[in-house]
Amino acid sequence: MNELVHGILSPQFFYSILRVTTPILFAALAALLSDVAGSTNIGIEGMMLMSAFWGVMVSAWTGSAWIGLLAGVTSSVLLSLALAYFYLNLKTDLVLAGIAFNIFSSGATVFLLYLFTGDKGSSSSLKSYVLPKIDIPLIKDIPVVGDILSGHHVLTYIAFISVFVVQYFIYKTPLGLRLRAVGENPDAAQSVGISVKKIRYISMLLSGLMAGFGGAFLSMGYVSWFARDMTNGRGFIGLAAQALGGHSAFGSMWGSLLFGLAEAASYTLQAIRIPSEFTNMLPFIFTIIALAIYARSKLLQIKKIKEEEKKA
Amino acid sequence: MRNKMVLFEVVRTALTIAIALLLGYLILIFATDDPNTAFKWFIYGPISRLRRFVELLNRATPLIFTGLAVSIVFQAEIFNIGAEGQLFFGAVAATFAALYFPQIPFLHVIIVLIFAMAAGGLWAAVPAYMKAKWNASELVSSLMMNYVAFYLGLYIINYHMRDVNAGFLVSYKFPRTAWLPRLLRRYNLYPGIFIALGFAILVWFFLYRTKYGYELRMVGKNKEFARFSGIKVENVIIYSQIISGMVAGLAGAVEIMGLYKRFVWQMTPGYGFDGIIVALLARNNPLAVIPAAFLVAYMRTGALIMGRMTGIAPEIVMMLQAIIILLITAEAFLSFWKKRIIEKAAMEQEEKK
Amino acid sequence: MKAIEMIDIVKVYPNGIVANKGVNFEVEEGEIHALVGENGAGKTTLMKILFGIEQPTSGEIRIFEKEVHIHSPHDAIAKGIGMVHQHFMLVPSFTVAENIVLGMEPKKGFSIDMDEAVKIVEEASKRYGLEVPPTERVLDLPVGIKQRIEILKALVRGAKILILDEPTAVLTPQETEELFVALKNLAKKGMTIIFISHKLKEVKEISDRVTVLRDGKTMGTFLTKDVSEEDISRLMVGRDVELVIERPEPKPGKIVLEVKNLNYFREDGVQVLKNVSFALREGEILGVAGVEGNGQRELVEILTGLRFGAIGSVRLLGEEILGYDAYTLRRKKIAHIPEDRVEKGAALKASIAENLISDRYYKEPFSKRLLLFPRKVIEYAKKAIKDFSIKTDSPLTPVGMLSGGNMQKVVVAREFTAGAKLLIADQPTRGIDVGSTEFVRKELIKVRDEGVAVLLVSADLQEILQLSDRIIVMYKGEIVGYFDKNEGLTEEELGYYMLGVKRHDENKIKEAFAL
């Protein structure tokens, strides 16, 4: 028990929250950017997986982590455009198409991994590269705070900066206004000559971009190899985090941090010899409970307003 | 005109499968120097030997169950895609019942199956309840339940029922009273396929010949209409998912009772997601689930045999399955043809007036 | 110069309905041109084609004497066409200014220049005499203002041709007058205006020329001053309209429905029903008049168990039923023709037969214990199809393949045969052709004479006056007028109550409850 308390109160624990939050936050922003324009991107999981795979492969081939990142993100964006094509041009059901893309990515990455390395489980035989960690001057020297905030992976910083960029984009720019218009009332957007299809393509592309960063982080930062199905539900958890946060990037961030906390806690529990099969389950149970509480509070909120009105 | 529409769906499905196969061939050209041999094994493998055909039958069995399970929820327009978790947890519950219940012949099998159904139903009930009661998205919660089923199941098996002498991470072997018996001496054929066929008929009867099936279908066709007509929509949302979960629960249990006689999975077998493809191919019709499951099982078996014979990763089949889902659900795929049929019929009727 | 020429336009919808069968339509620059026809005649489809929302199956379009292909509203706007839709195309959570500049936002750096946007709106608003509050959210604004926003949306985009699709359907007679003044002003400034309507009085008042459509075909174009309302209506329906529906004296019996002090607050906190009280007897029709959005929808949904949380009392044959769900109320013999047949009244993907039994599938002969008997269902459906003259070749046809009128007949066939004590008919003839309308209205009188209590909610004042034995008028969630018989009552008079200009005193309104 002592060990547990000690583990949770250490700066390393808070540092690890930010670390494990990173991929979830990217996934949540990906979910947000598609949801704002009214489309649910279930395919985030597969896009992240694809990006994680190509990031590792291309970095190993070229010897550059940055080119790897570019390749990973590009693969994810291409996948998101393909999803948009099926959804918008061929009128495929978006949820089913998303599921199909996840199945596709899961199969394609293993197939290609085996083709390229002869191994089906992971790319550990390959020498791939990781993106750098960054120390923030001044902040890194502050005790405790420096240990928590400084020395993170470059994509971790990009993730948190993206929160502000995305929020500004959605609420202050013309394109953001159009995205929201398409999401709230596509007919209204169409009536002023906005192409709903084009806007949804853009939103899906941006969503793929975010998912790509999240995937690249997993294989080129979080660890330094690709493993079969290594996203392990993070894309879905990102969807849940966004659902809790509504149409706000900050909401998505708080939601993601909540799940990051659950995941970090589960690692701490493993350190005190609680079976990993058991602790691995916790973030998912946590997600279900959070969803239930959120949905319930939304219902109660409506009821409460009504009751107050009745009294008045 | 209705006949023409049926023909349209048949042609569309056939063309989808043909495109998927063609794509598979193209991938093989990139992946191997001898794509023809590989493709031959993929297409011809499952019927090349009786043993392989039996393999095909056994592989179709769980897919029929999951295909039925998914069809039930899809008919109600509910996106509970938790069949994977339901079947995994169903198999864990079956393992428990097989190992710890009295070994009475025949009855034991029934108890094990009931346990599997109960566990699957319970697993489906969680997203169902959350949806009906608080309007929480069943899509996300059922996906999360898949992971919980997987980790919790592994924990239970690996820490409480593991056979330490086996050399693998597997459970103790089931007592004989909990086996589905072998039907042929030389081939590993077990009666699972017949149970699955029985369930296909049962589910068809439920959907089209009972009033609960009618309620379920009307909720699927238009929820507001159903509520307006005096159907208790919340109840339907719950029972349709529980029934679906019960059927899915059987998929895992029947397979381990027949094929392995113990719990053997350290990864989820993927039948739940295959069930989505089966249901889509079958247009959610329980009887059409049978050929659809055979088709998907055929592709899976073919890919495995190809893998064994040529060393190509059988995961290639997942890509083909994804293509099938995409094209089957793509409304606009071949829609120009459908449009022509409708336009022609409409203009003909106009002229008749 | 000719502003618009549409030549031989044919449109077949994906569900097989042929909406336009070779329509020809011409508009001169600077005129107000009325496009009339009964519901389902193809007016809206024709205009959707002109605005690029729908693509014609075949035909040719010329704008200002140049042949064009309009693939999207974007194309249409670029060619100087603006459209004000029947259902407003506004983003509710956006402000007025955001709605108007959407798609042509003024920029400052990367951001939207909101000050500039407000200025654009204010200037346009002044120039065209259409007053709107630029910084308020659209959600909270009244219908009349929403319509002005829609018109401004088109004008700031440089529209030279303005299409208005049934603009007066949601307006009171008085708001309509204001709109007409604005439109005449615009026409004076050289704007070409297409005015879609089936209200002939308005057509006579506002238009220079009129084109009549019937059943997807053009019946002719005329100078409005040369034709009478009767002439136009004959062309619209192909025969002299039977304006009077036989309504024998009602023989009211005992009280079926008593609503007392009903109050309701919507989710957003707005009170939409205020102390509503009325009673209804068997064998009579009580009409509920009012501009849409004055609480009628909520009232109907509360009475039929589709909306909860109201306070007050609702008694059915003496039993308190407030808060019961549709499941229970259906079993207590309340039938309901809903306002929206596509959303609630029918499952479009289900067959006619399946639609006809949705409230009685659990009863014999359709089912027994668990089992359902499809053959019995189909037998029953065949009979209903004949009795209600639903045009189809099979009871297995999906309802979505039927025309609007036939779809409504399926709904009506179910609700009229439900054996109800109370029938709530909400906009029972909206959007259907004259033949079906007449049929439904006659059936309503018939069930009344069979002793059913009928609550008729309608925005169609003609319908209210034709069918109702007594009338209540709703305005902002309150009953503001009560007429215990409708002799000598005119649409204009009702209009004053609907708008809140006139109002009966408390005692008169109380009579609606005290029978």
pLDDT tens for each residue of B311-338 = 888 888 899 989 988 988 887 777 777 7
| For residue C241, pLDDT beyond 60 | no
Angle between helix axes C143-156 and C173-188 (nearest 10 degrees) is 10
Contact C497, C481 (CB under 8 A): yes
Q: Across residues B5-26, what is the average pLDDT?
A: 87
Domain ranges in chain B? 58-290
Provide the residue range defining the domain that includes A115: 2-311
At B173, phi and psi to the nearest 5?
-70, 145
The predicted pLDDT at position A301 comes to 74
Tell me whether C344 touches chain B (CB under 8 Å). yes
Contact A40, A93 (CB under 8 A): no
CA distance C135 to C129: 18
The predicted pLDDT at position C175 comes to 82
Average pLDDT of every residue of chain A: 88
Record: contact B346-C361, CB cut-off 8 A:
no
Question: Residue C345: which of B225, B343, B346 has the nearest Cβ?
Answer: B225
The closest alpha carbon to C215, from C39, C437, C34, belongs to C39
| For residue B349, pLDDT beyond 70 | no
The predicted pLDDT at position C449 comes to 94
The predicted pLDDT at position C127 comes to 87
Place of tokens 């906390």: A261
Q: CA C337, C342, C346: angle at the middle one, nearest 5?
A: 60
Maximum Cα–Cα distance across chain C: 73
CA distance C232 to C36: 8
Q: Across residues A34-63, what is the average pLDDT?
A: 94
- How far does Cα B149 stand from its chain's mean position? 17
The closest alpha carbon to A249, from A152, A180, A154, belongs to A180
User: Chain A partners of C107 at a C-beta cutoff of 8 Å?
Assistant: 174
Q: Across residues C141-159, what is the average pLDDT?
A: 88
Count of structural domains within chain A:
1
The predicted pLDDT at position C280 comes to 95
> Which chains does A contact via 3+ CB–CB distances below 8 A?
B, C
Which of A295-309, B143-157, C17-31 has the largest mean confidence? B143-157
Lowest mean pLDDT among B168-177, B181-190, C335-344: B181-190
Question: Residue A96: which of B134, B154, B325 has the nearest Cβ?
Answer: B325
DSSP string covering A14-67, please? HHHHHHHHHHHHHHHHHHHHHHHTT---TTHHHHHHHHHHHHHHHHHHHS-HHH
In this structure, what CATH number is given to the domain that contains residue A205? 1.10.3470
User: Nearest-CA distance from A278 to chain B in Å?
Assistant: 6
User: Chain C partners of B236 at a C-beta cutoff of 8 Å?
Assistant: none
Tell me whether B230 touches chain C (CB under 8 Å). yes
Q: How many helices (H) and strands (E) does chain A have?
A: 14, 2
Q: List, in sequence order, every beta strand (DSSP E) within C244-359.
A: 255-265, 271-281, 285-289, 311-316, 319-320, 334-337
> What token pair was written down for A127?
């020498």
CA distance B253 to B276: 19
The predicted pLDDT at position B179 comes to 84
Q: What is the CB-side half-sphere exposure of residue A46 using CA atoms within 13 A?
A: 25
The predicted pLDDT at position C468 comes to 94
Residue in chain B lying closest to C415 (CA): B229
Question: Residue A111: which of B152, B273, B313 has the nearest Cβ?
Answer: B313
Residue in chain B lying closest to C18 (CA): B346
Cβ neighbours around C394 below 10 Å, total: 13
**H/E element holding C26?**
strand C18-28
The confidence band for A1, taking pLDDT boundaries of 50, 70 and 90, is low
Q: Across residues B144-167, what is the average pLDDT?
A: 90
Lowest mean pLDDT among B142-146, B165-169, C274-278: B165-169
